[in-house]
Amino acid sequence: MKKAIFTFLLAVTTGLNAQIMVVNEIETESQENFSTMVTQWMTAIKSTLEIEDAKTYTFEEPGTKKVQFLQFYDSMTDMVEFRNNQDENQEKIWGTLQNMEPMPEGTIETFNEVTSFKESSVWEFMPELSTTPETWSILSRAEKDAHFYRRIQYINVKMNQDMAYEAWNKKMNALDKKLGISYHFAIFKSVFGAKDADYMVVCIDKSQFDYFRNWEKRTEIREKSAEYNALVGELSTSNWSLISEFTWNRILELTF
């Protein structure tokens, strides 16, 4: 069934060559058990499939039992090929697991009891709407690792208003650059699995404190601009809206 879904995705998105992000939402009663299990499993996958960087990142939602397990691919085709390769090598992966240092007794049983998969969604990265191609890509690995905070915003857009929403964002980005405002954010467009949201906005900073402090500074600069106030005025009659907002904190040791 899973292979059929990904094959369908490949068929309906043949022309989609943008970077793809898969968000797997998981709930666990024990983050320690989850960390042990996912580390063992991802180590086995990388070893068996001879992958140096699986482009996989893990985030927790403070105050909840949720864990967001993110996987990035260069394209939809790359995603499908990776999933198929993993499925076709399940026996080899399990063989690698059996030859690794064993986990504490009862780890798998506990994982099955306290951890549950909730949903997956697939998103297309929109570089033309994002600042990260300019601001994030130039950072070193250490600098990126220091930015563990993510502000996640889900945007709902009315029918046939995608182009209008994207055009508004381009205007906003151009104005920010004109005003000397620079920060890290990325916009993703829903491809499959998102419940109500059409777009996801990801703002990146070093901490929640830094995010709100920097947001206040950006707002202070923007509000002095007549162009900004005109753009904000467009929102009152817009056909899109913020429907939910979350905090994700990166779990650095669960990077694969």
At residue 6, the pLDDT reads 43
Last residue of a domain, one of 75, 104, 121: 121
Task: Inform me whether the pLDDT recorded for 16 exceeds 80.
Answer: no
Measuring CA to CA, how many Å separate 228 from each of 35, 198, 214?
44, 24, 17
The answer to whether residues 116 and 185 belong to one domain is no
**Tell me: the pLDDT tens digits for 190-225?**
999 887 899 999 999 999 999 999 999 999 999 999
- Read off the tokens for 197: 């949201």
At residue 236, the pLDDT reads 62
- Among 14-23, 28-37, 161-170, 175-184, the minimum mean pLDDT is found in 14-23
- The number of domains in the chain is 2
The answer to whether residues 188 and 117 belong to one domain is no
User: Would you tell me how many other CB atoms lie within 10 Å of the CB of residue 6?
Assistant: 20
The answer to whether residues 32 and 103 belong to one domain is yes
The answer to whether residues 117 and 170 belong to one domain is no
The answer to whether residues 134 and 76 belong to one domain is no
At 245 the three-state DSSP class reads strand
At residue 30, the pLDDT reads 97
The answer to whether residues 134 and 73 belong to one domain is no
* Domain span at 153: 129-253
The answer to whether residues 135 and 240 belong to one domain is yes
**Tell me: the pLDDT tens digits for 50-101?**
999 999 999 999 999 999 999 999 999 999 999 999 999 999 999 999 999 9
The answer to whether residues 180 and 146 belong to one domain is yes
At residue 18, the pLDDT reads 60
Sorted by sequence, the CB contacts under 8 Å of residue 213 that are 6+ apart come out as none
Last residue of a domain, one of 121, 156, 175: 121
The answer to whether residues 133 and 243 belong to one domain is yes
Structural contact between residues 127 and 21, judged by C-beta atoms closer than 8 angstroms: no
- Read off the tokens for 65: 């039992």
Instruction: Please tell me what DSSP assigns to residue 139.
Output: S
The answer to whether residues 226 and 151 belong to one domain is yes
Last residue of a domain, one of 121, 153, 180: 121
The CATH number of whichever domain residue 10 belongs to comes to 3.30.70.100
The answer to whether residues 152 and 180 belong to one domain is yes
